[in-house]
Structure 1
Amino acid sequence: MVFHSLFLLQLLLLFSLTTATAKRLHTIPPRLSPIEPRVWLDHPDQNLGESVREDFETFFYNQTLDHFNYRHESYDTFPQKYLINSKYWGGSDTDCSAPIFVYLGAEAPINGSLDTIGFLVDTAVHFKSLLAYVEHRYYGESIPFGDEAFKNASTLGYFNSAQAIADYAEIIIDIKKTFQAENAPVIVIGGSYGGMLASWLRLKYPHIALGALASSAPVLYFDDITPQDGFYSIVSKGFREASETCYQTIRESWDVIDEVASKPDGLSELSERFNTCATLASAAVLKTHLIEMYISAAQYNAPPTYPVNKVCGGIDGGGFGDDVLAKIFGGLVAYKGNGPCYVNAPAYQSALPGGWSWQRCSEMVMPFGFGKDSMFQPKPFDIEAYIERCKQTYGVPPRVDWVTSYYGGHNISLVLQRFGSNIIYSNGLRDPYSIGGVLRSISDTIVAVNAVNGSHCLDLRFANQYDPHWLVDQRNSEINIIQEWIDEYYHDARCSTKSHI
């Protein structure tokens, strides 16, 4: 699966920042993609995007390299990919056209979103909307400088969220001109990092987007606004709710791994016990792999598969033995399925730094630490070590406070109540990136819609027969709010023709 390969690639890029040497374990920056890794065969009814691919037409926009400078090289351009689905569109009108829904691509090629991000397609008939899916610069086929793009900070310097949002604004304007729909209301939609972009675009370019649906957008995970151990606390809570014995086994396993690794042939023993693809260079490699498995299972703990339950079923089942390491290996097999080997897969060895790794080393600095009450070994976020690793990798230090300086975040309720409008921050309260416990309804038009048992970006997936009632209610709430925005827009614009409403 292409996204399984992408997931492995992203892990390597993250590991380059989290393991300065193989001898020391650092906290792992989780992935933000709304698309879960394909580590087992999903339920067939969960992947509905293949049937709608034929409804999309691919375009490339001649995008400006640098929107914020007037140097000669800033006027260079690159082809930026986007896809259009006009199957359900109500058409254009002199005064007010049918709405346009724009999905903002995040840290992955945009084509993969067609298979999984179904909210726009599911609601297109209701809204009679034109659908656009736009790829983020430096991902997929939208890469400036070609093979030189990730060479150094000189070419990567144009790779940031502000440039990306400006890209989206330009493309939206061009789409409206192309479809003669200059007066169409636009709703931007994104998940996780893309959800941050959606909310920020609405705030920075209110003349472009009428509203934004920001699904699982961790806009408050900067500058210690959210406690450093917040993410891993929710991960731990999910496992503890699934099985207390599973949770305790995981907590105990770290010391057991360290104890075995300290023996003369300890790494060989661990390699054998966990059937690794290559001999472990350190215990940190194994522990990092397991931590990533646990956080991924928790982040995408969605029906009908519920990967946390899968992992805990393997750990508690005792199918490989009764000792701690055997139980942990049982959880690994349950999560990934039977395979020739686990950990240290060859795919981890070939990639160069880039993509999300660069973004984390420039502006997306999220301080994640292991708290003493989590199922992981306590370790605070070490900002100095983080900065040093980024400097070693790219030659430049991260701008730690830039996101909150440019987009805000501190005192967000007070600030947005005074000037913001038409943003939905949707969350699942079991999602480690949930801000539901921090961000409540700010005003009538900036709301947090929270699904009690929801996982990461679950509301953006295609609806199917396995959706629980709380997920159906979540989506209906979002649809009703967006409908109110559009109705008010048409009312204020005094549309003469309303056949598309």
Structure 2
Amino acid sequence: MKLSVTLVLFLCHNIWSYDYETKYFEVLLDHFSFTNNATFKLKYLINDTFWTNDGPIFFYTGNEGTVENFAENTGFMFDIAPSFNALVVFAEHRYYGESLPFGNDSFVSPSHIGYLTSSQALADFVDLINYLQTMSLEKVPVIAFGGSYGGMLASWLRMKYPASVVGAIAASAPIWQFETPCEDFYKVVTRVYQEAVAKDCPLLITKSWTALRNISESPEGKAWLSDAWQLCSPLETSADVETLIGWYSEILVNMAMVNYPYSTSFLAPLPPFPVKTFCSQLTQANIVDDKSLVMALGDALQIYTNFTETTTCNKINQTAEALGEEGWYFQACTEMIMPMCSIDGDMFENDPWDYGKYASQCFEKWGVNQTHPELPVLEYGGKEIKAASNIVFSNGLLDPWSSGGVLKNVSESVVSVIIPDGAHHIDLRGGNKDDPETVIEARQFHVDNIKKWIMEFYFHSGKGAFFEKIKYQHVARN
């Protein structure tokens, strides 16, 4: 059973960097209690280089990881900030990075980690936005930005706290994944691999699951596989084999998500179009039996695990060292339960969705029971969001998370933009010379909507005229 697929902001960067100052803001541990006054410091990053008193605040709703990772890889906000005279802010999500309510003890018990929820995080952001407003002579419009889980938060922030943000750019935000058929996610991953090369890469991947299990049945096979795939710790038990299977599966998903047309280096250093590179190497190998297939896979996987040729061994308990996987696993066990399954027709090992088994695994790890798996739908509306306004949902059709995304307009102001040849929220990345035209068009669409929201905010004051002429200027970085 795959416990969860890590939902992350895969905005992988080149060598471009952005300037910001690191600050901290005191927030309540529990925003929804009148009997608990405990607080902790929430980290945020700020750049006021371009800001004027009438300029908006561009506010990034942090994901499951250190906030610096997202700031360094969300270049779109920095690219357009000068045109809008905007203040740029990246807020860290509680329980990630340095924003740990109980320090190193934040994950030791349910009583400590129980304050890790999206609703508490949104309340953190609202308090921080309220504080940021005091930096201006009068209230200014705030635009929320986010990708993946951060995109979900950006959209929910606009839905639940419309007085705090005037609009939201929610990129690759799978807010409907909770109500999506469980097999859809892996179908999209399979399609990405099918379209990568002329030969049938998914067919070899489909065969690999049986090959891996056949080889790992015996102690000798486990030892051979440990050596062939250069594992840091040898496979010894059936549980070790399950960990390896999950690690391999997650790498396949990760490569699909970060299948950008240029080199990136966030989850791991990767070449342009890593799926195509992986499939090209795999399909050109001389494969005659289980061992030759598994050996070819191990070689091809080095595109992800050792592209720089500096990795000495592979740790199969993680696929993205810089991300807060521990915290996300707790969220995936409590409120972010997104049913996923593998069936005949995709390239993954068959794995039906079993909520009872999933809940048991979660209880064994965290000691908590989730009695309302539909909680996010009840709290945020699920697919019934016609009452919302001023949200742009963008999705690349090469992104597995598009399976749970908003792919059509909900209303006149809750709209969808589709990027047919886009991977995981590529539109939030900084401009690149190899950006597809559809990505550039999506960014212009974002700018047009941001401009409209700001002009609506300033409608009665007459201050909106400055923003009316703004257009997206594509930055063609190498």
1:198 aligns with one of 121, 135, 154: 154
> 1 CA distance for matches of 2:429 and 2:93?
19
Q: Percent identity?
A: 34
> 2 CA distance for matches of 1:290 and 1:370?
15
* Counterpart in the other structure of 2:267: none
Change (3 A) 1:352 1:151: farther
1:395 equivalent in alignment to 2:367: yes
Say which is worse superposed, 438-447 or 203-212, in terms of deviation: 438-447
CA contact (8 A) 1:251 1:377 kept: yes
1:443 equivalent in alignment to 2:411: yes
* Counterpart in the other structure of 2:473: none
Q: Residues 395-432 of structure 1, C-alpha deviation per residue, up to 9 Å, x if partnerless?
A: 111241111111111xx2xx322x21100111101100
Give 1:346 deviation, angstroms: 8.5
Q: Residues 274-298 of structure 1, C-alpha deviation per residue, up to 9 Å, x if partnerless?
A: 2322221343233222111100001
> 1 CA distance for matches of 2:105 and 2:117?
17
* Counterpart in the other structure of 2:169: 213
> 1 CA distance for matches of 2:408 and 2:448?
18
> 2 CA distance for matches of 1:435 and 1:346?
26
1:357 equivalent in alignment to 2:329: yes
State the secondary structure of the residue aligned to 2:165.
Answer: coil
> 1 CA distance for matches of 2:194 and 2:84?
41
* Counterpart in the other structure of 2:298: 329
**Given residue 216 of structure 2, which amino acid in structure 1 is its aligned partner?**
A
State the secondary structure of the residue aligned to 1:62.
Answer: strand
1:369 equivalent in alignment to 2:341: yes
> 1 CA distance for matches of 2:172 and 2:324?
29
1:291 equivalent in alignment to 2:255: no
- 1:74-153 to structure 2, matched below 5 A, reads 74-89=36-51, 91-92=52-53, 97-153=54-110
CA contact (8 A) 1:297 1:307 kept: yes
**Given residue 41 of structure 2, which amino acid in structure 1 is its aligned partner?**
P
> 2 CA distance for matches of 1:129 and 1:473?
21
- 1:399-478 to structure 2, matched below 5 A, reads 399-409=372-382, 412=383, 415-417=384-386, 419-435=387-403, 439-478=407-446
TM-score, reference length from structure 2: 0.88
Change (3 A) 1:232 1:146: same
> 2 CA distance for matches of 1:268 and 1:316?
26
CA contact (8 A) 1:80 1:135 kept: yes
> 1 CA distance for matches of 2:27 and 2:355?
35
Give 1:328 deviation, angstroms: 1.1
* Counterpart in the other structure of 1:227: 181
> 2 CA distance for matches of 1:130 and 1:347?
35
RMSD (Å) for aligned C-alpha atoms: 2.4
**Given residue 57 of structure 1, which amino acid in structure 2 is its aligned partner?**
E
State the secondary structure of the residue aligned to 2:341.
Answer: coil
State the secondary structure of the residue aligned to 1:227.
Answer: coil
Give 1:214 deviation, angstroms: 0.6
* Counterpart in the other structure of 1:66: 30
1:32 equivalent in alignment to 2:10: no
State the secondary structure of the residue aligned to 2:394.
Answer: strand
What 5-or-longer segments of structure 2 have no aligned partner? 263-271, 469-478
CA contact (8 A) 2:175 2:404 kept: no
1:278 aligns with one of 226, 229, 233: 233
* Counterpart in the other structure of 2:282: 315
* Counterpart in the other structure of 2:357: 385
State the secondary structure of the residue aligned to 1:375.
Answer: coil
> 2 CA distance for matches of 1:234 and 1:204?
31
State the secondary structure of the residue aligned to 2:177.
Answer: coil
**Given residue 280 of structure 2, which amino acid in structure 1 is its aligned partner?**
G
Aligned residues: 448
**Given residue 124 of structure 2, which amino acid in structure 1 is its aligned partner?**
D
State the secondary structure of the residue aligned to 2:411.
Answer: coil
CA contact (8 A) 1:289 1:343 kept: no
Q: Residues 28-76 of structure 1, C-alpha deviation per residue, up to 9 Å, x if partnerless?
A: 5222111357xxxx7xxx3312xx22xx2222111111111111xx211
Say which is worse superposed, 263-272 or 295-304, in terms of deviation: 263-272
2:215 aligns with one of 260, 266, 269: 260
**Given residue 378 of structure 1, which amino acid in structure 2 is its aligned partner?**
N
CA contact (8 A) 1:317 1:330 kept: no
Give 1:218 deviation, angstroms: 0.8
> 1 CA distance for matches of 2:300 and 2:232?
17
TM-score, reference length from structure 1: 0.84
**Given residue 430 of structure 2, which amino acid in structure 1 is its aligned partner?**
F
CA contact (8 A) 2:247 2:318 kept: no
**Given residue 214 of structure 1, which amino acid in structure 2 is its aligned partner?**
A
CA contact (8 A) 1:321 1:327 kept: no
Give 1:496 deviation, angstroms: 5.5
